[in-house]
Amino acid sequence: MNEFPETIYEARRWLQSGRISSVELTELYLERIRQLEPNIHAFLHVDEAYALTQARLADERRAAGEDTPLLGVPLAIKDIITVQGMPATAASRILEGFYPPYEATVVRKLREQGGVFLGKANTDEFAMGWSTENSAFGVTYNPWGRQRVPGGSSGGPAAAVAAGEAIAALGTDTGGSVRQPASWTNTVGLRPTYGRVSRYGVIAFASSLDQVGPMTRTVRDNAILLEAIAGRDPRDSTTFSRPVPPYSQQLEGGVTGMRFGLPREYLTEDVHPGIRKATINAVEQLRQLGAQVEETSLPHTAYGMPVYYLIATAEASANLARYDGVRYGYSAKAPDLQENYKRTRGHGFGPEVKRRILLGTYALSQGYYDAYYLKAQKVRTLIRSDFDAAFEQFDALVAPVAPIPAFRIGEAPTDPVALYLLDALTLPSALAGVPAISVPAGFVEEEDELLPVGIQFIGRPLDEATLFRIAYAFEQATQYGAHRPAV
């Protein structure tokens, strides 16, 4: 069979009709992984026997009359999300060989629907990074450019979906880690409202910011996947009890009459000219579809980066204190306890994780808590107020996702502050806890390579349905997402 379904929507139709079985579909994706992984390295762990066992169970469930949107569909899971029976390393030496005795709520929900887990996808260590170069187990390559990064920290899931190694994937977004790699790989990535999706079983980076998000080839698939994983979870007290809407059934309707805000702070001179052009073209496309677009201001945007890197690092410092080499994971096995702590954490953590732990520990230390961490929380409230005010006037905001296209491996800025600014356009919405979706918006030419560009739509809290409707209208009108990399 030369062709095979590339989306959740197509796969369900093929499986329902009997055109293909889940075992056959899974074998096709496993074969594609075998062929492409030497050049992509999207996965840290692939378990063919595990996946085929799940596929056989899915076929048995279908034969017994069951039918869910994800029954028998091959998926990739970012290695920051626990799956029972698979390792969970967070791409860190300190968790090498760790098999969790539990699994994330989002994974349990996918399992209940009959999803097939192909393996664990690469990530920056503990989801701290922009390019997947911070993984302790090797960089992932962007399918759109062999020597380009796929973005981060969910670079592995993004590359797997873009290369056709998985139909869809789960990533996590703390400050932009779903949206930025989606924009650099020509895929669709959603950061849901904080609390819309359970964080139980997700290896913590920054607890007040982390969110699981779907990564797919199409907006419809993204809606299907969010329907499956969203909802109240008693094991995560931050989740909402509101019912989960049928997102995939509310895509039609277009954007006629909608009002969009274009934040002027997101289109500064620091944004790559090609990305500025793609954003302006997206605005014109929205107008052609019947929407109104006006310039607006989110005045506290400039504070997003320093606020994020105080709050996120402080929470990371607390969360990562548990990795001590005593209970699980890597242990240096030194002659005394104090030396064991030093060696374990010194050898087990990579340089970026150490940098953020040090920043966070400093911000929380005596004499600096009020000056840094507490003040950052107050400014975070101002950032949230900017979005509240904007949504009194607009149905959604439209903006670029990243200020530059995917850079070459090894060519990231050497200045950490310059690196942190790569998240400048995604951090404010993450701090505000509002949903945002990245959708393919064209390409820019860099050194004779065509590199994908994403546009993000930012919406009101718990209004993912409107974001999907907007993104679907834009996707159908432009068809940028239909382009595939030559892998």
Q: Which residues are catalytic?
A: 78, 153, 177
DSSP 8-class letter at 243: P
Q: Is 201 left (phi over 0), alpha (psi -120 to 50) or beta?
A: left
Alpha-carbon span 443 to 451, nearest angstrom: 5
Residues whose CB falls within 8 Å of the CB of residue 385, separated by 6 or more in sequence, listed in order:
300
Strand ordering across the sheet containing 211-216: 43-46, 116-121, 74-78, 168-173, 211-216, 188-191, 436-446, 449-458, 396-400, 259-263, 292-296
Alpha-carbon span 376 to 9, nearest angstrom: 43
The sign one gets for the Cα dihedral 440, 445, 451, 453 is negative
- The structure tokens listed for 258 are 């909608």
For the CA atoms of 33, 36, 41, 42, the dihedral, rounded to the nearest 10 degrees, stands at -50
Question: What sections of 18-74 are H helices per DSSP?
Answer: 22-40, 48-63
- Total residues found in the chain within this entry: 487
- β-sheet bridge partners, residue 445: 450
Q: How many CB atoms lie within 10 A of CB 146?
A: 14
Angle at 126 between CA 453 and CA 418, to 5 degrees: 50
Cβ distance 425 to 431 under 8 Å? no
